[in-house]
């Protein structure tokens, strides 16, 4: 284990075993902000990607958030386009532990961590996802949709989350 981890004592044998079991191209989040990646040729353990800073979003604007773009009434339909009912200043932020959303068909609010796990989003991917907020409240997020408190019909504002390789 010391050959893989060096002198780090915060990585257990269970972490190393999980990292070694990664499929080619896979990633595994380790303690203390580390990320294990299987490039196919080697197992790399490095610091995880930095989390982007929060950015304000206004009508007709598209903002960058890490590898993502978030557009408000920017036209076009993307894989993650949602209609919202809004009143107030919006901000795009990283998700925070304890963030909760109420989605259609659910009985009450659930943590976003759990919702993303149910949607098949890995912890490594989840850490880089943008979250649209109105104050401290979560409005929408990719893979999850819009919180029921902010859901709107066809007349609502449109927010689209897309990655650099996609176009809307």
**Given the structure tokens 């709107």, which residue do they identify?**
152
pLDDT at 1: 45
Q: Report percent pLDDT > 70 for the chain.
A: 85
Do 92 and 38 share a structural domain? no
Do 122 and 73 share a structural domain? yes
Question: Does 68 map to a domain?
Answer: yes
Q: What is the DSSP letter of 70?
A: E
pLDDT digits (tens, 9 = 90+) for 15-31: 777 777 777 777 777 76
Question: Does residue 4 register a pLDDT over 60?
Answer: no
Do 60 and 42 share a structural domain? no
- Burial code (b: 16+ CB inside 10 Å, e: under 16) for 134-163 equals beeebbbbbbbbbbeebbeeeebebbbbbe
Q: What is the pTM assigned to this prediction?
A: 0.72
Question: Does 111 map to a domain?
Answer: yes
Q: Which domain holds residue 86?
A: 55-163
Q: Order of strands, edge to edge, in the sheet holding 157-163?
A: 62-65, 68-72, 157-163, 80-84
């Amino acid at each position: 284990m010391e050959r893989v981890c060096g002198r780090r004592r915060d990585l257990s044998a269970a972490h190393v075993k999980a990292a070694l079991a990664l499929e080619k191209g896979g990633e595994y989040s380790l303690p203390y902000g580390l990320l294990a990646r299987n490039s196919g040729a080697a197992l790399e353990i490095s610091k995880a990607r930095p989390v982007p800073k929060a950015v304000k979003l206004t009508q007709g604007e598209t903002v960058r958030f890490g590898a993502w773009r978030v557009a408000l009434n920017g036209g076009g339909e993307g894989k993650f386009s949602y209609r919202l009912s809004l009143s107030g200043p919006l901000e795009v932020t990283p998700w925070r532990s304890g963030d909760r959303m109420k989605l259609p068909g659910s009985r009450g609010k659930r943590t976003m961590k759990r919702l993303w796990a149910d949607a098949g989003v890995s912890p490594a991917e989840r850490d880089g996802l943008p979250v649209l907020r109105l104050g401290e409240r979560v409005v929408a997020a990719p893979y999850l949709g819009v919180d029921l408190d902010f859901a709107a019909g066809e007349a609502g504002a449109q927010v689209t989350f897309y990655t650099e390789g996609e176009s809307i």
